[in-house]
């Protein structure tokens, strides 16, 4: 059972919360005795003894041949407990006070810096093994933190995914929430509930009805400024340089490598007026500098009808870069891959500036950095440009968490992450506040950042939504369901609406196994899991 409502969520969070309590206690002890490492289990046991008293069995011994009377035993336990409790609390209070006066809140609650790029496929980073690209900032985060290699968005399009990242709710609930003007709790609200200062820099792109950028009381970010990538980095660095007495949550939301959309339009000659606001890159780079075509470059012979329709939809509209890319030659696609890598490098340079500012201000060791993206990009796989579809390149994104204050470093983790719905519980776990009234289906990734062997709940599978709209009332609704070894695509209608891929032997999703008898059991299993998902969540997927 992986899908939960509010109450089970609280129960499931206990392992993570317990581990977090241990880590906080360890941080306190380390800070108070001058940074000397103390085993957290021993620390927790000392704490428990101080609060709850010694086990009564400790005193069950003979005195001059007789058992100690139970009345005396209890009194002795209570007296000792009281002394230990008062002493420990005084010790912690004085220690905390000293640190808080000194402005070092990180021993209790670290700062949180969330870095979001726009349209970045997980594999286009040096640390992910991408040849020909230089991303030292992203690589440094991976080297000093945990890189989750199976992190999937809940919707491979900007606005619905950002709604989910912001609220923890499923993307399909967005329109109803807008219609009903539901009061949604945001990341900013949650952080403020935990006593954090909140700031947001850069791309917003959350529907005005959901979160009007000017409505601070609603979205919870006291500082909220836009701007292009360079300017917003300046603003974020200025924010980091300011003295404060409380921990902060800062979101730095970049545009690149999203400018690959503009590059595609320029390449297709759709408009002379198109400019790349976050740094230009060559439209016609020499081919000897361009990456080769990917192994899964060709369009699948049994591609879902919905995807074929999306390729041909409104081909004359400048906004539909996918349709214009259908005229790209093989060389164009290679140049497109080269340009995409350069745009990732441009945003990496801005991220490097923010990370340097953290170091310069002495905040690096006191700040959890979460790095991710709102969705991926086709990157020429299946000759796909931009996003929207359920292929890996559109849906799998970077998800790296760095916490120098006691987490794993330089490790990868292949647990399934559902980025949109997991971000809110992860951040709440770090801040130390409970999730609001649900329904929520995300899980905190924080226990796995602290401990590779954590037994905290994880996803048995993750689900991604999408939609191909033909008009106001006509759509193809799509879902993918990813398990550790397989990926199941389902569209609400059309030819080839059901697809199953073996992600171990065919990570490029090129061979649909739906009609293969040897995979019948896996197909049945994934159908059942999807039925379970629909039954247990408020997903409104429909084939009507």
> Judged by CB, which is closer to Ca ion: 27, or 120?
120
CB of 420 to Ca ion, least distance (A): 12
> Judged by CB, which is closer to Ca ion: 174, or 334?
174
Task: Identify the sign of the CA torsion 116, 117, 123, 125.
Answer: negative
Q: Count the residues of the shown chain that bind Ca ion, applying the rule CB under 5 A.
A: 4
- Give the span between the Cα atoms of 374 and 394, in whole angstroms: 10
Q: Strand pairing partners for 253?
A: 116, 202
CB of 24 to Ca ion, least distance (A): 35
Token digits for 384?
């796909």
Site string for Ca ion, 351-390 (x = CB under 5 A): -----------------------x----------------
Token digits for 276?
């790349």
CA 488, chain centre distance (Å): 22
Contact set for Ca ion, span 411-440 (CB under 5 A): none
> Judged by CB, which is closer to Ca ion: 197, or 374?
374
CB of 456 to Ca ion, least distance (A): 30
Site string for Ca ion, 13-42 (x = CB under 5 A): ------------------------------
Q: What angle (nearest 5°) sits at the alpha carbon of residue 502, between those of residues 481 and 491?
A: 40
Task: Identify the sign of the CA torsion 208, 209, 214, 217.
Answer: negative
- Give the span between the Cα atoms of 328 and 383, in whole angstroms: 9
Span interacting with Ca ion, options 42-50, 152-160, 322-330, 509-517, rule CB under 5 A: 152-160
- Give the span between the Cα atoms of 269 and 272, in whole angstroms: 7
> Judged by CB, which is closer to Ca ion: 153, or 191?
153
Q: Is the peptide bond before 335 cis (omega within 30 degrees of 0)?
A: no
Q: Which of 158, 299, 503, 514 binds Ca ion (CB under 5 A)?
A: 158
> Judged by CB, which is closer to Ca ion: 43, or 264?
264
> Judged by CB, which is closer to Ca ion: 158, or 225?
158
Site string for Ca ion, 100-139 (x = CB under 5 A): ------------------xx--------------------
CB of 205 to Ca ion, least distance (A): 7
CB of 272 to Ca ion, least distance (A): 25
CB of 341 to Ca ion, least distance (A): 18
Residue nearest Ca ion, Cβ-based: 158
CB of 505 to Ca ion, least distance (A): 31
For residue 377, give every residue at least 6 positions away whose Cβ sits within 8 Å of its Cβ, in sequence order, or none. Answer: 119, 120, 121, 124, 257, 260, 340, 385, 386, 387, 393, 394
Rounded-to-10 torsion of CA 159, 160, 163, 169: 180
Q: List, as one string, the DSSP characters of 179-192.
A: HHT-----HHHHHH
CB of 258 to Ca ion, least distance (A): 6
> Judged by CB, which is closer to Ca ion: 119, or 140?
119
Token digits for 479?
């879902």
CB of 122 to Ca ion, least distance (A): 15
Say if CB 534 and CB 527 are below 8 A apart: no
CB of 375 to Ca ion, least distance (A): 6
> Judged by CB, which is closer to Ca ion: 255, or 297?
255
> Judged by CB, which is closer to Ca ion: 204, or 328?
204
3-state class percentages of the chain: helix first, strand second, coil last, to nearest 5: 45, 15, 40
For residue 374, give every residue at least 6 positions away whose Cβ sits within 8 Å of its Cβ, in sequence order, or none. Answer: 116, 117, 118, 119, 153, 158, 161, 162, 165, 397
Neighbours of 99 (CB within 10 A): 17
> Judged by CB, which is closer to Ca ion: 151, or 490?
151
Which residues contact Ca ion by CB under 5 A? 118-119, 158, 374
């Amino acid at each position: 059972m992986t899908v939960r409502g509010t109450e089970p969520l609280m129960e499931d969070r206990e392992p993570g919360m317990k581990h977090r309590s241990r880590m906080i206690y360890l941080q306190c002890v380390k800070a108070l005795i001058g940074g000397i490492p103390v085993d957290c289990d021993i620390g927790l046991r000392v704490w428990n003894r101080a609060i709850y008293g010694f086990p009564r069995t400790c005193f069950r011994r003979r005195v001059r041949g007789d058992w100690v009377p139970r009345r005396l035993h209890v009194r002795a336990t209570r007296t000792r407990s009281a002394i230990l409790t008062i002493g420990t609390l005084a010790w912690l209070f004085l220690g905390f006070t000293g640190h808080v006066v000194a402005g070092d809140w990180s021993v209790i609650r670290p700062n949180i810096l969330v870095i979001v790029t726009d349209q970045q496929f997980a594999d286009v980073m040096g640390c992910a093994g991408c040849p020909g690209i230089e991303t030292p900032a992203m690589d440094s985060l991976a080297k000093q933190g945990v890189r989750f290699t199976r992190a999937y968005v809940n919707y491979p399009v900007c606005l619905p995914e950002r709604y989910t990242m912001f609220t923890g709710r499923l993307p399909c609930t967005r329109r109803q929430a807008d219609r009903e003007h539901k009061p949604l709790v945001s990341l900013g609200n949650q952080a403020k509930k935990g006593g954090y200062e909140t700031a947001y820099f850069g791309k917003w792109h959350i529907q005005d009805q959901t979160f009007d950028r000017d409505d601070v009381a609603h979205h919870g970010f006291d500082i909220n400024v836009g701007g292009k990538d360079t300017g917003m980095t300046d603003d974020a660095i200025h924010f980091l340089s300011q003295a404060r007495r409380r921990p902060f949550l800062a979101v730095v939301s970049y545009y690149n490598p999203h400018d690959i959309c503009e590059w595609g339009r320029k390449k297709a000659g759709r408009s002379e007026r198109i400019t790349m606001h976050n740094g230009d890159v060559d439209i016609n780079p020499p081919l000897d500098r361009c990456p080769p075509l990917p192994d899964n470059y060709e369009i699948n012979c049994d591609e879902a009808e919905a995807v074929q329709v999306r390729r041909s939809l409104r081909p004359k509209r400048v906004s539909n870069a996918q349709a214009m890319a259908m005229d790209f030659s093989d060389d164009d696609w290679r140049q497109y891959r080269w340009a995409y890598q350069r745009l990732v490098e441009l945003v990496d340079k801005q991220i490097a500036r923010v990370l340097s500012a953290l170091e310069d201000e002495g905040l690096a060791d006191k700040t959890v950095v979460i790095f991710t993206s709102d969705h991926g990009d086709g990157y020429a796989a299946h000759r796909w440009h931009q996003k929207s579809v359920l292929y890996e390149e559109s849906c799998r994104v970077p998800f790296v968490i760095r916490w120098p204050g006691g987490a794993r470093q330089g490790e990868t983790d292949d647990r399934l992450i559902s980025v949109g719905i997991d971000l809110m519980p992860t951040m709440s776990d770090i801040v130390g506040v409970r999730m609001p009234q649900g329904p929520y289906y995300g899980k905190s990734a924080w226990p796995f950042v602290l401990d590779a062997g954590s037994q905290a709940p994880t996803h048995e599978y993750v689900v991604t939504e999408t939609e191909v709209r033909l008009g106001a009332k006509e759509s193809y609704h799509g879902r993918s369901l990813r398990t550790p070894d397989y990926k199941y695509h389902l569209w609400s209608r059309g030819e080839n609406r059901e697809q199953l891929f073996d992600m171990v032997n065919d990570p490029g999703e090129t061979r649909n196994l739906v009609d293969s008898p040897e995979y019948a059991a896996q197909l049945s299993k994934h159908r059942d899991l999807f039925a379970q998902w629909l039954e247990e969540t408020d997903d409104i997927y429909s084939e009507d």
